Amino acid sequence: MRSRVGRATTAAVLGGLLAAGCGSGGGDQTDPAAGKGGKGDSAGYPVTVTDCAGARTTFTYAPKNIVTSNAAGLELLLRLGAGDKVIGTGFPPGKGTLPGELDAQAQRVKVLSDTVIPKEKLLGSGADLYIDTFASMNMGGGMGDAPTEEEFEAAGIKHTFLKSTACAATSKGPVTDLAAVEADITSLGAVTGTSAKAKELVDGMKKKVDAVRKAVGATPEDERPTYFFFDYDAGTKQPMAVCNRQVANAVITLAGARNVFADCDGDFKQVGWEDVIATNPDWIQLGVRDRGSAAANEKAFDEAQRWLESNLATKGLKAAEEGRFLRIGSERTTIAGVTNADTVEEIAKTLYPGKVG
C-alpha cells in the first residue's frame, strides 16, 4: 500500500478480519477438515491460517474472546453468528450503519478506540484473537505503535489478517474476482467454528455475481463503460486511484465496467486530475464513507457530486455533464466483505438497465 496515507483515508480502505487467499486466489493453509464441528468444541480443529508472508497461525479450538481492528471485521463476525465472541473493536460502526439486528448487536460491542486501538489497551484486552489488517500493511507509521508478534504471543493473543485487503498491494496479478474475499470468509468461518454459515454467505455472494456475469459477461471489452471510483474522503486536491490489486477493481470488473486505472499495479495510488480527465470516464462512483445515517450519507454524496460538477478541472467530464454518478459507499466497494457482491449487482443494474434482474 502507499507509504503515506491520512487517517481518514486509512479508515476507508481498510477492513479488519482474517486470513485466506492473497490476491485473487487461495494460498491459505486452512485444514480441509476445519469447521466441521460446532462452536466451542474441538471438532474440526486444528485450523491453520497464514499471513501475507506465509507465517502460520494454528487454532486448536475456537477463540472465545475476539477483538477486531475495525467495523468490517466486526460485521463479518456478526454475519457469521460469532458476534457473541467479540469483546471489543476499534473504528466502530456508526449507529444505523449495519442493517437491522446486526446494528443492534454491533452497538453492544465495547469500543476500545474510535480509531486505532492503543497498543497497551489491545494487549491488555483479554483477547485470545485479534483480527487485523493494519499491521501487515506499509502504513509508514500511520497506524500507530502496533504490538510486535512477540508481544502478541506473550499476551496470549493470536494475530490474524484479512488477506484479501492486507495483502492486496503485493498480490501476484490484477484482482478481477472475489475469490480471495470468499476465501477470507471461509477461513474465518473455519477459525470461529461457523463454517456452515460461512458457506451460506459465500454461496449467496456467488449466486449474485454469477447472475451478473450471465447477464453482462459477454459484453465485449471495448463496449464496456469506463468507470472511475472517486474517493471523496481521501481529499479533492489530488485524487486517489483504485488500482488493479484492490478489491474494488474486482467489483468494477465483475459488474461489466472498465476501471480507468486498471493499468495501475498496486492497490491505491495518488494521481493528478489531469490523469482522470485523460480517461474521461463514462461513469463516476461517489465513494463516500458511511456517516452513520442515511441522511448524513446523502449529504456527503451531494457534496461530492457538487464538487465534481463545479470544479473547473472536472465539470467538463462526460460523466459530470451527463449526471452519470453512482451513490455507493466506499466500504462495501474497497473493503472485503459480503456486501462486495451487492455492490457488483448494484453497479451492473445501473450500467446495464433491464439486463440485470
Q: Would the pLDDT of 229 be above 70? A: yes
Q: Is the pLDDT of residue 273 over 90?
A: yes
Grid cell listed for 23: 490476491
Instruction: Enter the pTM of the model.
Output: 0.84
Note the pLDDT of residue 269. 94
Query: Given this model, what pLDDT does residue 222 score?
Result: 94
Q: Which amino acid is residue 343, in one-letter code?
A: T
Percent of the chain with pLDDT over 70: 85
Residue 357: pLDDT band (50, 70, 90) is confident
- Say what the pLDDT of residue 328 is: 96
More confident residue, 346 or 44: 346
Largest interatomic CA distance in the chain: 62
pLDDT band for position 220 (cuts 50, 70, 90): very high
Question: Residue 32's CB: how many other CB atoms inside 10 A?
Answer: 7
Confidence of residue 201 (pLDDT cuts 50, 70, 90): very high
Q: What is the per-residue pLDDT for 136?
A: 46
Asked if residues 129 and 63 have their Cβ atoms less than 8 Å apart, the reply is: yes
Which among 307, 280, 177, 234 is positioned nearest to 1, based on CA atoms? 234
Distance of CA 237 to the CA centre of its chain: 24
Residue 134: band (very low, low, confident or very high) from pLDDT cuts 50, 70, 90: low
Mean pLDDT, all residues of the chain: 86
Judge whether residue 315 has pLDDT over 60: yes
- Residue 241, C-beta contacts closer than 8 angstroms, at least 6 positions apart: 229, 261, 264, 268, 269, 270, 271, 275
State the pLDDT at residue 36: 40
pLDDT at 28 over 90: no
Compute the average pLDDT of residues 237-265: 96
pLDDT at 280: 97
Evaluate if residue 272 carries a pLDDT over 70.
yes
Q: Give the other-Cβ count within 10 Å of 45's Cβ.
A: 21
Reported as a single tens digit per residue, the pLDDT across 64-123 is 999 999 888 899 999 999 999 999 999 898 887 888 899 999 999 999 999 899 999 999
**Displacement of CA 350 from its chain's centroid (Å):** 22
Q: At 149, which helix (H) or strand (E)?
A: helix 149-154
Beta strands in the chain (DSSP E): 47-50, 56-59, 66-68, 86-89, 129-132, 158-161, 226-231, 240-242, 258-259, 268-270, 283-287, 325-326
User: Which of 290, 294, 322, 326 lies closest to 309, judged by CA?
Assistant: 322
Query: Which pLDDT score, from 0 to 100, does residue 41 have?
Result: 55
Share of the chain above pLDDT 90, in %: 69
Residue 218 CB contacts under 8 Å (≥ 6 apart), including other chains: none
Q: Which residues contact 19 (CB under 8 A, 6 or more apart)?
A: 28, 49, 50, 51, 57, 160, 161, 162, 163, 184, 187
User: Which residue ranges form the domains of the chain, and what is each CATH number?
Assistant: 7-204 (3.40.50.1980), 219-351 (3.40.50.1980)
How many CB atoms are located within 10 Å of the residue 313 CB?
A: 14
Model confidence band, residue 143 (pLDDT cutoffs 50, 70, 90): low
Query: What are the phi and psi torsion angles at 86 (to 5°)?
Result: -85, 125
Tens digits of residue pLDDT in 165-194? 888 877 888 999 999 999 999 999 999 999
> Region 303-323: what's the mean pLDDT?
96
